[in-house]
């Protein structure tokens, strides 16, 4: 298939750092480029398989890694735009691309000739005929593992069934994502009487008003966060409105046109069947084997250790909150009462703090300043370069010696076509093989204020800003030879480590004095508030740990239950969810699971299936690394350089736990996490 030369993906971008030429890209360009790219990649890899020269690093590994450039350009752009600014047309394209990519994966990793070629290289290495550098050696080890995990050694009948399951799963997961997003948009709560918004900040009300106007509605529209807890509940003093928002959140996907229960059942059962075909007892074991955890037993052991103390703390925290209202405490009261108690205990509240957290100041004097202090890198906004939406900003990133590192794209505001939550992705992966430098994107869902008004953040949004930039740093500071090993392309349960480490700088006292400045008066945040912010880190940790644990354990239940015990009908999902949480000991009504099954996009659409535990697993590393930073002077260039060289730069080119031990000098100690979360 020959791609029309007029298609903007037909040749490499001429923009700096190979940035996608968004001004030229239209929806109709994606599918032809993907189709041509798939055909091209298969031909390039078949050439690797058919090469009759003795296999070596150049004609196997380098040739493999150089393949698929057209496909990479098209998908790097599409997978950036579709989650962030989708349309019906893009959703339809996504539905077509998903099974195509599943078939491509099968065509590559069930290609016996290609497997034999890679195996022959491994044989030459073992015989001492070929010498590989450490990154190439690790690449070879991982590719052989990928072939086996894709079923290359199975009988053809089983391989055919695997191909069917993979294609089916791709379609089901894509459908779940689209239906879940539509359900969240439809569940937004319209408020027609401003009096019901008592307690909400002017910034919150202005954003809700603008959201309603965007949809042609009269009133204030409270759009929903992707997860169960809704940040707006911390502000609303109207208890009935809090109930409406909470119930709108938890009711998503359980009925009507946006019902996802059938998809949940089909996805879970297909994954279970696939795992058994590949020789694993369940999907959880299949995932853990390729992660740092290695076994689902290790995952369950870590989660179980946290469950009892977390739930115990929920009960203690509830006893503290109940005196704040006459009515019995309900889930929709928790965030509001918690914020009230936090204000009394630590002498400030969210409404008073927010004017000190203006987006531009937090970004430049907080997020960017921390990166400069640690790594010497600097940022220059490139208004001459365009993103995929007019709200996307482009920054060029420079290393300490002034050389260009790459581009950072920031897309911070919520909109109807954007999926909930926050995330990072790469458009271009850093690699030395092709001489490419990284282009990375951060997405958040901050409510945009009316024109001319400042964007004032909640403390949670500040933490999210730092968190997602930690992912961006993993991509920007990558130093790998091969694209597939660059930056965040590590085991799933390590991916969240750099992002969680980066959160710690939001509470650095010196940095807080720089970025937490009143947007009108210019006064820095009162010093006593800084102390209180740090002290408040232990506040409400039972609740926050339990809702995260519940989601992690629900994920494990869906993916470790034998197929003959999984639900077979949509109407069995609710009972399965309830039993799973009860069995895990995390069925705390006042701390409902962060995601219920019907809107758990991380696991039923994204790449976190049987891997949502990664947030807590990575936090064990993060808390341990945080202890090292504090013991060695905190935010310094020397500490940043060690962290960059040993943990960020290698990406997935080496065993990540080995690099962590090299950085830390020991295995991570879970005790630091227990202390951080007040669970010991």
- Which residues fall within 8 angstroms of residue 126, CB to CB, at 6 or more apart? none
Burial of 155: CB neighbours in 10 Å, binned 0-12, 13-18, 19+:
exposed
Number of other residues whose CB lies within 10 A of the CB of residue 298: 16
In sign, the C-alpha dihedral spanning 23, 26, 27, 33 is: negative
Chain centroid to CA 451: how far? 30
Residues designated catalytic: 468
Query: Which element (helix H / strand E) includes 95?
Result: helix 88-109
Cross-strand pairs, 410: 393, 442
Nearest alpha-carbon partner for 188 in 416, 450, 391: 416
Q: Which residue has the tokens 């069917």?
A: 164
In contact, 678 and 538? CB cutoff 8 Å: yes
Rg of the chain's alpha carbons, rounded to an integer? 25
In contact, 369 and 511? CB cutoff 8 Å: yes
Residue 339 tokens read as: 């914020």
In sign, the C-alpha dihedral spanning 647, 641, 479, 9 is: positive
Query: Which element (helix H / strand E) includes 620?
Result: helix 614-631
Give the separation between CA 211 and CA 414, rounded to whole angstroms.
9
Alpha helices in 219-290 (DSSP H): 239-250, 261-277, 283-288
Name the DSSP letter for residue 66: H
Give the separation between CA 396 and CA 381, rounded to whole angstroms.
6
Q: What is the dihedral of CA 11, 14, 18, 21, to 10 degrees?
A: -80
Residue 302 tokens read as: 């870590």
Q: Across the beta sheet with 404-413, what order do the strands follow?
A: 378-381, 393-398, 404-413, 439-446, 423-428
Q: Which residue has the tokens 């000739």?
A: 113
Beta strands 404-413 and 423-428 are unpaired
In our burial notation (b when 16+ CB lie closer than 10 A, e otherwise), range 439-457 reads bbbbbbbbbbbeeeeebbb
């Amino acid at each position: 298939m020959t791609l029309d030369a007029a298609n903007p993906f037909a040749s490499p971008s001429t923009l700096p750092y190979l940035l996608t030429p968004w001004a030229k890209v239209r929806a109709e360009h994606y599918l032809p480029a993907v189709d041509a790219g798939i055909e091209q990649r298969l031909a390039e890899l078949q050439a690797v398989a058919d090469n009759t020269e003795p296999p070596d690093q150049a004609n196997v590994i380098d040739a493999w890694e150089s393949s698929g450039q057209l496909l990479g350009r098209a998908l790097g752009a599409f997978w950036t735009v579709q989650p962030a600014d989708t349309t019906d047309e893009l959703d339809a394209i996504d539905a077509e691309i998903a099974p195509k990519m599943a078939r491509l994966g099968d065509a590559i990793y069930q290609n016996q000739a290609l497997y034999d070629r890679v195996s022959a290289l491994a044989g030459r290495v073992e015989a001492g005929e070929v010498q590989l550098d450490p990154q190439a050696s690790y690449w070879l080890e991982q590719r052989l593992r990928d072939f086996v995990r894709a079923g290359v050694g199975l009988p053809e009948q089983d391989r055919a069934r695997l191909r069917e399951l993979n294609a089916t799963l791709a379609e089901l997961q894509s459908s779940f994502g689209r239906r879940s997003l539509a359900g969240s948009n439809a569940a937004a709560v319209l408020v027609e009487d401003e009096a019901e918004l008592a307690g909400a900040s002017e910034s919150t009300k202005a954003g809700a008003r603008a959201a309603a106007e965007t949809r042609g509605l009269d009133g204030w529209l409270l759009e929903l966060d992707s997860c169960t807890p809704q940040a707006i509940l911390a502000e609303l003093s109207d208890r009935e409105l809090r109930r409406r928002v909470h119930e709108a959140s938890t009711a998503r996907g359980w009925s009507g046109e946006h019902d996802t229960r059938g998809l949940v059942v089909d996805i879970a059962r297909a994954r279970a069947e696939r795992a058994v075909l590949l020789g694993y007892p369940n999907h959880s074991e299949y995932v853990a084997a390729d992660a740092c955890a290695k076994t689902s037993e290790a995952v369950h052991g870590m989660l179980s250790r946290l469950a009892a103390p977390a739930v115990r703390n929920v009960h203690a925290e509830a006893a503290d909150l109940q005196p704040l209202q006459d009515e019995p405490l309900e889930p929709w009261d928790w965030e509001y009462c918690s914020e009230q108690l936090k204000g009394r205990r630590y002498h400030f509240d969210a409404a008073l703090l927010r004017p000190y957290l203006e987006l531009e100041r937090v970004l430049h004097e907080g997020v960017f300043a921390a990166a400069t202090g640690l790594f010497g890198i600097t940022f220059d906004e490139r208004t001459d370069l365009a993103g995929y939406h007019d709200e996307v900003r482009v920054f060029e990133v420079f290393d300490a010696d002034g050389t260009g590192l790459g581009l950072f794209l920031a897309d911070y505001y919520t909109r109807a076509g954007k999926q909930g939550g926050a995330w990072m992705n790469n458009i271009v992966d850093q690699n030395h093989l092709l001489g490419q430098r990284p282009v990375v994107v951060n997405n958040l869902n901050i409510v945009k204020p009316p024109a001319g008004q400042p964007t004032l953040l909640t403390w949670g949004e500040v933490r999210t800003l730092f968190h997602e930039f930690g992912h961006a740093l993993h991509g920007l500071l990558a130093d790998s030879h091969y694209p597939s090993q660059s930056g965040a392309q590590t085991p799933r349960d390590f991916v969240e480590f750099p992002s969680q480490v980066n959160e710690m700088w939001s509470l650095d006292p010196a940095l807080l004095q720089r970025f937490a400045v009143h947007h009108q008066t210019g006064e820095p945040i009162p010093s006593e508030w800084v102390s209180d912010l740090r002290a408040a880190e232990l506040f409400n940790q039972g609740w926050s740990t339990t809702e995260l644990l519940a989601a992690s354990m629900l994920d494990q239940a869906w993916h470790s239950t034998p197929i003959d015990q999984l639900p077979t009908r949509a109407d069995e999902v609710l009972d399965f969810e309830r039993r799973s949480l009860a069995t895990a000991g995390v069925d705390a009504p006042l701390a409902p699971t962060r995601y219920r099954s019907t809107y758990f996009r991380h696991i039923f659409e994204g790449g976190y299936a049987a891997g949502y535990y990664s947030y807590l697993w990575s936090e064990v590393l993060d808390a341990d690394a945080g202890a090292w930073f504090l013991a060695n002077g905190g935010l310094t260039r020397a500490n940043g350089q060690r962290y960059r060289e040993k943990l960020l730069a290698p990406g997935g080119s080496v065993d990540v736990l080995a690099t962590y031990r090299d950085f830390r000098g020991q295995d991570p100690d879970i005790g630091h996490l227990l202390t951080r979360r007040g669970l010991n």
